[in-house]
Every structure is written in C-alpha cells, then in structure tokens.
C-alpha cells in the first residue's frame, strides 16, 4: 500500500502542477488508512505535496496515530499471551 500511496501522491502532484484532474483527498487518506501511510509520508517529503494543508495533515496524522496505537496494542496483547 505504501507504493500505491507514493504513486498516488506523485500522480496528484504532477496533475496539480499541470492543472489536470486531481486525485481526491479522500482517496489519498483511504490509501493511508489501509496501510499506505509510510509511503504517503515519504511522498509528502519527496514531492513537497499536501504538507501545508492543515486539515489534510490533521487527518493524516490521526491515521498514523491510529496505526501506531493498533500496533502497540497488538504487540502488547501478543506478548501477554
């Protein structure tokens, strides 16, 4: 999913520069939610894309926090068994 996220950000940035049809923000967020957040984070840095849009970034970091909490819960519950 990270590869998909990275590609989606790259396509959206390319289209933004050229004035073309854009990738919906909801699509980018859903890709991140389904596990593509590391690729999305890297793409934000590489393409300098979506980083200044505060509402988008709040949702993005909430998705990252959700993944970190789920991972911590999974490690904690698997180690206590």
Three-state secondary structure of 22-66: CCCHHHHHHHHHHHHHHHHHHHHHHHCCCCCCHHHHHHHHHHHHH
Q: Which of 23-27, 30-34, 48-52, 60-64 has the lowest mean pLDDT?
A: 48-52
Output the pTM of the full model: 0.88
Determine the pLDDT at residue 13: 96
pLDDT band at 78 (very low <50, low <70, confident <90, very high): confident
Determine the pLDDT at residue 77: 85
In whole angstroms, how far apart are CA 4 and each of 16, 25, 48, 62, 63?
18, 14, 17, 20, 16
């Amino acid at each position: 999913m990270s590869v998909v996220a990275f590609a989606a950000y790259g396509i959206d940035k390319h289209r933004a520069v050229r004035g073309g049809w854009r990738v919906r923000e909801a699509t980018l967020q859903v890709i991140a939610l389904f596990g593509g957040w590391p690729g999305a984070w890297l793409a934000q840095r590489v393409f300098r894309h979506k980083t200044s849009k505060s509402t988008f970034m709040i949702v993005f970091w909430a998705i990252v926090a959700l993944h970190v909490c789920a991972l911590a819960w999974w490690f904690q519950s698997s180690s206590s068994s």
